[in-house]
Structure 1
Amino acid sequence: MLGRSIDYNLLPPLRALLEERSVTKAAERMHVSQPTMSTALSRLRAHFDDPLLVRKGLSHELTPLAIRLVAMLPSALGEAERVFQLQSEFDATTSTRSFVIAAVDYAVSRIGPAITRVLSAEAPHVQLEFSIADSALVNAAPESLRTIDGLILPHGYLTNQPHIDLMSDEWVCVIDADSSLGEAPTAEQLLARPWVHTLAAKNGMTPARRQLQIKGMEVSVAAVTPYFQSVPSLVAGTERVALLPRTLGVRAARGFGEVRVVPAPFALDPVRDAFWWHPDHTHDSAHVWLRDMLQHVAQEFIDYPDGDHR
């Protein structure tokens, strides 16, 4: 393969073919004709000297090389897109740059409206994609941060990575609205109940739960979810307990109506959300603008911590 010319335009159809395992479905996904996709497959087979897709009955299977390729393509395509998006100077008013930020759903619901207002006024053509900050991405950091623009996540998961602080909140406990527990249950009462657990860190616990462990307090986990906003539905109608940021807990109690918020009697450090990025992005002019915009938005949460400025 040394010296062979490479057509990078074949990367998207390669990904479509390997993920769909069908020329017809890949053509539909890429919005091209089936003969065009068949031609792309032929060129790819010639390039890799490998059939890539092997018919078995009515379907196709991936060859061993294709299995390796399909695992590499998402990050490879992401890196290629970032290369062509780089600019020596970034003009937010005209740019069509797309930024990808991974975050837990709670953070998106809280900071998203403020970001949207800034983009509408200053960067109307810039696109912002929020992807889920799941355990796989968090546990693979910082390497996984190369393929996205950044990650909104509380302190306690990542260390020694560039970041800017965005917003903070105190922890509260959420219990069923009809729970027999009083308005201020004791730590012993709460710890005796099953718990709902959110996004797992490398050692299998959130920063708040790690603080409990340091204090010698263990909890029995009954359910786990990466979606903070689904926690109230996993608590409602049960004896379960969950820790949530106060803003989300109060919003759930008011809107969902089937849970209530009680103080967390554990003297926990507040949840402090930050925007984390890979050092490779530090000097990208577009990324500098993104970070400046996020710092501007973060000021709103300092001035109006409960969002009462609207």
Structure 2
Amino acid sequence: MTSRGTAARRPASLASLDLNLLVFLRELLRERNVTRAAQRVGVSQPTASAALSRLRRHFNDQLLIRSRGAFTLSPLAVQLAMQVEPVCAGLERLFSTSAEFDPLASEREFKLLTVDYVLAAFGEQLSREMYRAGPNIRLYVQVVKQHLPADPLETLRVIDGMISAPKAEFRVPGIRSLELFRDRWVCLVDKNNPVSDHLRLADLERLPWVVPHHPDGGYPPSSPLGPLMARLGTRPRVAVRVDSYQATPYFVAGTDRIAIMQRRLAGLFANRADLRVLECPGDPPPIVETLWWHEQKEHDEGHKWWREAVERAARRSEAADGVGRSRHAIRAVN
């Protein structure tokens, strides 16, 4: 079977399509495994195998390719994986639409795009809040690996929300927002790093950095740390770049490196005897994490319920964060 048909395909009419295949296709591309996809959909193995055969015939593509004992997605399947999620989400919203929304009876899925720091800051509270108020409601969290979407307005048309710090590209007509919580920047160093507990800008210029979620081209002026970078006499000397805020401390421990990270996240590592959390010099601007959504969802009762659940979770996380700070004071901070 070829990877793509060479002849031009005529668009299939909606009436001729089996929408059950769409659900199976989504789970197949998520799991990359026929057996697990069958379990997710709730069908037998033979039924799943037959569905895969139908999908392969329809797209004239293998979709799943066996490689070294596992399955990988074909190039076409990679494209389909990006398209099938918003299609399924849209259909679920369409067929679950009603004048009222009952969270106790709903099985609606909400899709959230954010970075791993936000999940560390209040992901557990969000999970608990949604489960308490709507135990059958599902949440699909897509973690940003490198950069937020370049066109947030179009992205927010097909997902329910995005949580990030404010950026210029979010300030456009059609996008609504709600501030969730604030944080501040601190520095993380190894306990044996000879640097003083009271850091200076000169220390940031001298020490090698661990930098999460950042390209090799340095910090642009639009970066949340742009104002601080402007005060440095030289560009930071980056020793490690890693696409995870939560992985940052592991590349600081046992080295002379330094990382600038969010205080809430650094607080998770405050009990480690091999690390020190210090105040960041240079008075960097605060971190303001915000929920963004498309104005088309403004009056959707289900989406309104979800936004309120996100807001309640953020408030609970702030309260818990205050308790945590009183019980586990961060060494050398304050």
TM-score bracket for the superposition, by shorter chain length: 0.7 to 0.9
Secondary structure (helix, strand or coil) at the match of 1:101 reads strand
Within the alignment, does 1:101 sit opposite 2:112 as a pair?
yes
Counterparts of residues 64-213 of structure 1 (less than 5 Å): 68-139=79-150, 141-156=152-167, 158-160=169-171, 161-200=175-214, 205=219, 207-213=223-229
Tell me the equivalent position of 2:258: 241
Unaligned runs of 5+ residues in structure 1 are none
Shift of 1:128: 3.1
- 1: distance between equivalents of 2:60 and 2:323? 57
Match of 2:247 among 227, 230, 248: 230
CA 1:212–1:156: 2 relative to 1, 3 Å? farther
Shift of 1:164: 0.6
Tell me the equivalent position of 2:305: 289
- 1: distance between equivalents of 2:164 and 2:242? 16
The code of the aligned residue for 1:197 comes to V
Secondary structure (helix, strand or coil) at the match of 2:260 reads strand
Within the alignment, does 1:26 sit opposite 2:34 as a pair?
yes
- 2: distance between equivalents of 1:113 and 1:70? 27
The code of the aligned residue for 1:284 comes to D
Matched-pair contact (CA < 8 Å) for 2:92–2:108: no
Secondary structure (helix, strand or coil) at the match of 1:162 reads strand
- 2: distance between equivalents of 1:65 and 1:116? 34
Tell me the equivalent position of 2:294: 278
The code of the aligned residue for 1:36 comes to T
- 2: distance between equivalents of 1:128 and 1:20? 16
- 1: distance between equivalents of 2:145 and 2:178? 20
Tell me the equivalent position of 1:6: 17
Shift of 1:253: 2.3
Q: Please report the TM-score for the alignment, with normalisation by the length of structure 1.
A: 0.79
The code of the aligned residue for 1:92 comes to P
Q: How many residues align?
A: 304
Matched-pair contact (CA < 8 Å) for 1:155–1:271: no
Tell me the equivalent position of 1:269: 285
Match of 2:236 among 194, 219, 242: 219
- 1: distance between equivalents of 2:194 and 2:54? 68
- 2: distance between equivalents of 1:78 and 1:138? 18
Matched-pair contact (CA < 8 Å) for 1:133–1:151: no
Secondary structure (helix, strand or coil) at the match of 2:268 reads helix
Unaligned runs of 5+ residues in structure 2 are 1-10, 328-334
- 2: distance between equivalents of 1:202 and 1:44? 41
CA 1:83–1:196: 2 relative to 1, 3 Å? farther
- 1: distance between equivalents of 2:257 and 2:296? 43
- 2: distance between equivalents of 1:304 and 1:17? 39
Matched-pair contact (CA < 8 Å) for 2:116–2:246: yes
CA RMSD of aligned residues (A): 3.7
- 2: distance between equivalents of 1:57 and 1:245? 41
- 2: distance between equivalents of 1:303 and 1:253? 18
